[in-house]
Structure 1
Amino acid sequence: MKTEEDIILLVKKDKWMMDILKAARTLYLPDWWICAGFVRSKIWDTLHGFQERTMMADIDVIYFDDQFTEKLEEKKWEKKLRSIVPDIPWSVKNQARMHIINYLPPYTCSVDAISKFPETATALGLQLDREDNVILTAPCGINDVINLVLKPTPFFKDNKQLAKIYKERIRKKNWKSIWNNLIIHPFDID
């Protein structure tokens, strides 16, 4: 796996992932993406030669709508997704309000929010267009995820408070216990 096209092809061949993307598309949310572990875990599972998919705590659907920023709106969308695909742990978050929760300046769109995720390998998103073409966004690039490198996004690395959050995530998530070939950037080690 070397290019964005390789990642897109990997996703297109995965019926489960395509079904998840199709379900999310039915909501017609503005500026929507399925992101983070949904993409990263597939890549890391493939690079580790896993035959079984690694379980995920949730499927992160994000969107950007600065007109309706109530948390109840997100819950409504989660309920709708559960009615379409009930066995999925859906998590829907409007990025127009998430900056407040994370004590950050406002995001301008969903891709801006993705660029400010904690890890470069997690700063990924997928969506489908109307013709079922898979679209990948990788505002921090794909080099780290395809090379099994775990390091903070520039946004987290350059902020001492966020760097602490990042380091705690690395400790709690313990991804190396699942994907043992991960290379944790020296910045991450206390």
Structure 2
Amino acid sequence: MSESLERRLEAIVRSGPRLMQVLESARDLDLPDWLIFSGAVYQRVLNHLTGRDLDYGIKDYDLGYYDAADISYEAEDAVIRRAAAAFAPPLSELVEVRNQARVHLWFEAKFGEAYTPLTNSAEALSRFVSPLFAVAVRLEGDGRLTVLAPFGLDDLFALRLRPNPTRRTHGFARTAASVTARWPELSVEA
């Protein structure tokens, strides 16, 4: 991953008070193998690059964690309730918490595609619909920001939307239409 793009991403992430509040609260929850990923990160970069308000289009903050010790819905729900109590409104309604160790239990029913179990939270990124979306951050105890992007950050900073080269999905065209409706500056490679 390009160090200069990683520094640019970190500056963009740190410039958003709302995202930083989410990261600080998530860090304080001390969940195992946690990450903030998807739209909360990539949409902020798209907004920065296209001159929009940093929070434009951000509907939620995906907080993933990985706990294979108990993959029951009840265990995940207890974490969801704990997280909701940790975030002040309106963030308590915007932070979506999911145990990545149990995604395989519901993914096929919701999206119509098989999904093998994950071994950690970062592995989920490699299965996202596009490399542009596959970026996550975690605020460490010492204030450092860990950036994870299995495909790198080139697509994101080039405003290039293309299918995941390692996982083709039938949902790419629909996703591309939705994303380009909000950010028409994106180039789409099918």
TM-score range, shorter chain: 0.7 to 0.9
Compared with structure 1, are the counterparts of its residues 52 and 5 closer, same or farther at alpha carbon in structure 2 (3 Å cutoff)?
closer
Match of 1:97 in 2: 102
| Residue 38 (structure 1) aligned with residue 40 (structure 2) | yes
Compared with structure 1, are the counterparts of its residues 52 and 123 closer, same or farther at alpha carbon in structure 2 (3 Å cutoff)?
closer
| Residue 140 (structure 1) aligned with residue 151 (structure 2) | yes
Match of 1:80 in 2: 82
| Residue 183 (structure 1) aligned with residue 187 (structure 2) | yes
Whether the 8 Å contact between 1:36 and 1:123 is mirrored in structure 2 is: yes
5+ residue gaps, structure 2, are 108-113
Q: Deviations over 1:131-179 (max 9, x none)?
A: 111111001110111111111212322xxxxx212333334xx111221
Query: TM-score of the superposition, structure 1-length normalised?
Result: 0.86
Q: Which moved more, 1:135-144 or 1:68-77?
A: 68-77
Q: Which moved more, 1:131-140 or 1:38-47?
A: 131-140
Equivalent residue runs for 1:140-159 within 5 Å: 140-157=151-168
- Taking only aligned residues, the RMSD between alpha carbons, in angstroms, comes to 1.8
Q: Secondary structure at the match of 1:62?
A: strand
Q: Which moved more, 1:83-92 or 1:140-149?
A: 83-92
Whether the 8 Å contact between 1:23 and 1:85 is mirrored in structure 2 is: no
| Residue 54 (structure 1) aligned with residue 56 (structure 2) | yes
Q: Which moved more, 1:75-84 or 1:89-98?
A: 75-84
Deviation at 1:52, TM superposition (A): 5.2
Deviation at 1:115, TM superposition (A): 1.1
| Residue 118 (structure 1) aligned with residue 126 (structure 2) | no
| Residue 70 (structure 1) aligned with residue 75 (structure 2) | no
CA distance in 1: counterparts of 2:82 and 2:57, whole angstroms: 22
Match of 2:27 in 1: 25
Whether the 8 Å contact between 1:148 and 1:182 is mirrored in structure 2 is: yes
Compared with structure 1, are the counterparts of its residues 176 and 165 closer, same or farther at alpha carbon in structure 2 (3 Å cutoff)?
closer
Compared with structure 1, are the counterparts of its residues 4 and 154 closer, same or farther at alpha carbon in structure 2 (3 Å cutoff)?
same
Q: Secondary structure at the match of 2:20?
A: helix
Compared with structure 1, are the counterparts of its residues 82 and 180 closer, same or farther at alpha carbon in structure 2 (3 Å cutoff)?
same
Whether the 8 Å contact between 1:31 and 1:109 is mirrored in structure 2 is: yes
Compared with structure 1, are the counterparts of its residues 164 and 142 closer, same or farther at alpha carbon in structure 2 (3 Å cutoff)?
same
CA distance in 1: counterparts of 2:117 and 2:64, whole angstroms: 15
Whether the 8 Å contact between 1:33 and 1:61 is mirrored in structure 2 is: yes
- Name the amino acid aligned to 2:183: W
Identity %: 26
Deviation at 1:14, TM superposition (A): 2.2
CA distance in 1: counterparts of 2:56 and 2:76, whole angstroms: 26
5+ residue gaps, structure 1, are 158-162
| Residue 3 (structure 1) aligned with residue 9 (structure 2) | no
Q: Which runs of 4+ in 1 moved over 4 A?
A: none
Deviation at 1:7, TM superposition (A): 0.5
Compared with structure 1, are the counterparts of its residues 11 and 155 closer, same or farther at alpha carbon in structure 2 (3 Å cutoff)?
same
Deviation at 1:13, TM superposition (A): 2.5
Q: Deviations over 1:77-133 (max 9, x none)?
A: 232232222212121111111123332222121111111111111111010110111
